[in-house]
Amino acid sequence: LTAGVHGNELNGIPVIQRIFKEIDINELSGSIVGVPVINVPSLLRKKRRFIDGTDLNHIMPGKPNGTVSQVYAWRIVNKIVKHFDYLLDLHTASNGRINSYYIRADMSVSRVRKMALLQNAQIIVHNPPSDGTLRGTAAEMGIPAITLEVGNPNRFQKGMIRDGLTGLHNLLGYLNMTSSEVEEIDEETILCKKSYWIYTDGGGILTVFPQVTEIVKKGDVIANLRNVFGDLIKEYLAPEDGVVIGRSTSPINQTGGRVLHLGIIDDK
């Protein structure tokens, strides 16, 4: 279990703290490794990126003789992660955005698919990982891995933490590591075959209308952009049917800024 790859993503920390407090090690079969904070320097600075301005989750597995961030990433992978049999990497949204509780996983791999479904998430996105992420690096090493996006940055959210904890207990029970019974989900998880962000093509004051987990239809107005005087510059329409995985909450938006993260629902 890893969290804090980005220094402003906090919800994963208490998830790992609580799982260790709730498990009776005398009844545990196997071992659980918890790394509450991968990116310690950035947590202390309350920053997303590493001390040289690099996003650690874009440069995995790093290099043993590279830049300071590359060496740090390489040591995380080779001293810790390579010894895992499974990886659950906990994240949140970044600054100025909010997320649903969703999973990124390669749903074409049976063990990974089962790991994802056991999390009882609101949304699961099929996302084969070959992208320099910690999850992608683990997968390339033959380690089944998923990313849990547990809410919003720079805060602790009790509901999200509780949901993340339930998913971990479900997986431990399924693997017969504990006697936990699998808790069924109240609402059916939305499965997405892909997802992408919609970006602005101009700057201004942005208002995003749909909320996370809301279903939108092609042509729906999802946001508008106004100038500093309040005049409407542009309306943004949903390019196709989908579900809102995450969205911008920052009204001040520059050209190329994020509007919302749209998941395309798998109808199979």
How would you class 128 by CB atoms within 10 Å of its CB: exposed for 0-12, middle for 13-18, buried for 19 or more? middle
CA geometry: angle 52, 95, 203, nearest 5 deg: 100
Could you report the per-residue pLDDT of 224-250, keeping only the tens digit for each?
999 999 999 999 999 999 999 999 999
β strands within 106-231, DSSP E: 123-126, 145-150, 190-199, 204-208, 215-216, 221-226
Is the pLDDT at 80 greater than 90? The verdict is yes
How far is residue 90's CA from residue 113's CA, in Å, rounded to a whole number?
17
Could you report the per-residue pLDDT of 131-150, keeping only the tens digit for each?
799 999 999 999 999 999 98
